Amino acid sequence: MHIAIAGNIGSGKTTLTQLLAKHYKWDQLQEAVDNNPYLFDFYKDMQRWSFNLQIFFLNSRFEQLLDIRKSGRNVIQDRTIYEDAYIFAPNLHAMGLMTTRDFENYFRLFQNMDSAITPPDLLIYLQAPVDKLVKQISERGREYENSISIEYLKRLNERYEAWIQTYDKGKLLVIDVEDNRFHTDPEDLGLIISKIDAEIHGLFPMETPKKPAVKEAPKAPAKAAKAPAKAAAKKR
């Protein structure tokens, strides 16, 4: 089973990945952030490092998908390869931070990869307004995210909403996290888990269908039918 969690920067993907992996006792595949050699440089000079960053993310996500298929493990994946190709790379291109030549080269590479991968069994999209994203980014205090602008987050959010409306790779679960505190509230987390169980197993995963009761065929009233016939004969 492969569940992937999609969402904008600061939507809570990493936290939910960890919580679900713990609940289901599945492996978790985190986004390659700490070992990404381009991330700090990218946020300092997006135009110079955009292509390098996106190629690194694309390749690391592709490697994760190959590993999932090869191992057959149950996994929760933090962010998808589709977000790289349909959200981040085209957004950088539209903002003039990635050249058309680099973007077209990048997208051809993605298309080749896409033909060789298997989509997740369930995609969870964490939907959040920009002010919620800003608040959560500020709270987690990652140094390299200090330069992220509200305009950048807004552009990403618009692309996410457009992409999720056309997603047709498999099952999709949209979670509105504006007022959802799944990271601290067990009840909110439990509601998300219930929705996931419903998508994976159906509404009643533990209930086995009851066998219909077998009705006995009515016995033919053979003797009772003959009696009235004899009585009628005597009267005649």
Q: In the prediction, which pLDDT does 17 show? A: 96
Rounded distance between C-alpha atoms, residue 100 and residue 92, angstroms: 10
Residue 217 is classified by DSSP as P
Q: Which two tokens stand for residue 106?
A: 């990048």
Sorting pLDDT into bands at 50, 70 and 90, what band is 62? very high
Q: With b meaning 16 or more CB within 10 Å and e meaning fewer, what string describes 51-88?
A: bebbbbbbebbbebbeebeeeeeebbbbbbbbbbbbbb
Residue 203 is classified by DSSP as S
Structural domains in the chain (count) = 1
Specify if 152 maps to a domain: yes
Q: Please list, in sequence order, all residues whose beta carbon lies within 8 angstroms of the beta carbon of residue 134, skipping any fewer than 6 positions away.
A: 10, 150, 153
Specify if 108 maps to a domain: yes
Specify if 229 maps to a domain: no
Rounded distance between C-alpha atoms, residue 160 and residue 89, angstroms: 12
Specify if 228 maps to a domain: no
Q: Domain holding 108: CATH number?
A: 3.40.50.300
Specify if 28 maps to a domain: yes
Number of other residues whose CB lies within 10 A of the CB of residue 108: 10
Rounded to 5°, the CA angle 58-59-61 comes to 65
Q: In the prediction, which pLDDT does 139 show? A: 79
Specify if 232 maps to a domain: no
pTM higher than 0.85, yes or no? Answer: no
Specify if 224 maps to a domain: no
Q: Please list, in sequence order, all residues whose beta carbon lies within 8 angstroms of the beta carbon of residue 90, skipping any fewer than 6 positions away.
A: 103, 159
Residues of the domain holding 157: 2-201
Q: In the prediction, which pLDDT does 144 show? A: 67
Catalytic positions, written as ranges: 78
Q: What is the pLDDT of residues 91-142, one digit of tens each?
A: 999 999 999 999 999 999 999 999 999 999 999 999 999 999 988 888 777 7
Specify if 169 maps to a domain: yes
Q: What is the pLDDT of residues 155-198, one digit of tens each?
A: 999 999 999 999 999 999 999 998 888 988 999 999 999 999 99
